[in-house]
Structure 1
Amino acid sequence: MNLKRSFSPVIEENSEVLVLGSMPGEASLRQQQYYGHPQNLFWEILLECEGYEANTLDYADKLALLKNKKVALWDVLEYCERPGSLDSSIVTETEQANDLITLLRQYRNIRKICFNGKKSYQSFHRHVLRDNTDFFQTYKLVTLPSTSPANASIPRTVKYQQWVTEVWNLPRV
Structure 2
Amino acid sequence: MDRSVGLPLVARRDARLLVLGTLPGVAALTQRQYYAHRQNSFWKIMGALIGFSPDLPYERRLALVTDRGVAIWNVLAEAERRGSVDANIRSPAPNDFAPFFAAHGDVRLICFNGREAQTLFKRLVRPALPEQAAALPSAVLPSTSPTHARMRFDEKLARWREAFTSA
Q: How would you bin the TM-score normalised by the shorter chain?
A: over 0.9
Q: Counterpart of 2:24?
A: 24
CA contact (8 A) 2:41 2:146 kept: yes
For the residues of structure 2 that align with 1:50 and 1:106, how far apart are their CA atoms? 24
Count of residue pairs the alignment pairs up:
167
For the residues of structure 2 that align with 1:48 and 1:17, how far apart are their CA atoms? 17
RMSD (Å), alpha carbons? 1.7
Larger mean Cα displacement after TM superposition, 44-53 or 107-116 = 44-53
Shift in Å at residue 137 of structure 1? 4.8
TM-score, length-normalised on structure 1?
0.90
Q: Which runs of 4+ in 1 moved over 4 A?
A: none
CA contact (8 A) 1:26 1:85 kept: yes
Q: Counterpart of 2:88?
A: 89
Gaps of 5+ in 2: none
Shift in Å at residue 44 of structure 1? 0.5
Q: Counterpart of 1:64?
A: 63
Q: How does 1:31-110 map to 2 (within 5 A)?
A: 31-55=31-55, 57-91=56-90, 94-110=91-107
The 1:73/1:54 distance shift into structure 2, 3 A limit, reads closer
After superposition, the C-alpha distances for 1:39-76 in whole angstroms (9 at most, x for unaligned) are: 11110011123444442x01011011112210001100
For the residues of structure 2 that align with 1:25 and 1:60, how far apart are their CA atoms? 19
SS state of the match for residue 130, structure 1?
Answer: helix
Shift in Å at residue 135 of structure 1? 3.7
After superposition, the C-alpha distances for 1:83-115 in whole angstroms (9 at most, x for unaligned) are: 000111111xx1000001221111111121111
Q: Counterpart of 1:144?
A: 141
The share of aligned pairs that are identical, in percent, is: 34
Partner AA of 1:95 in structure 2: P
Gaps of 5+ in 1: none
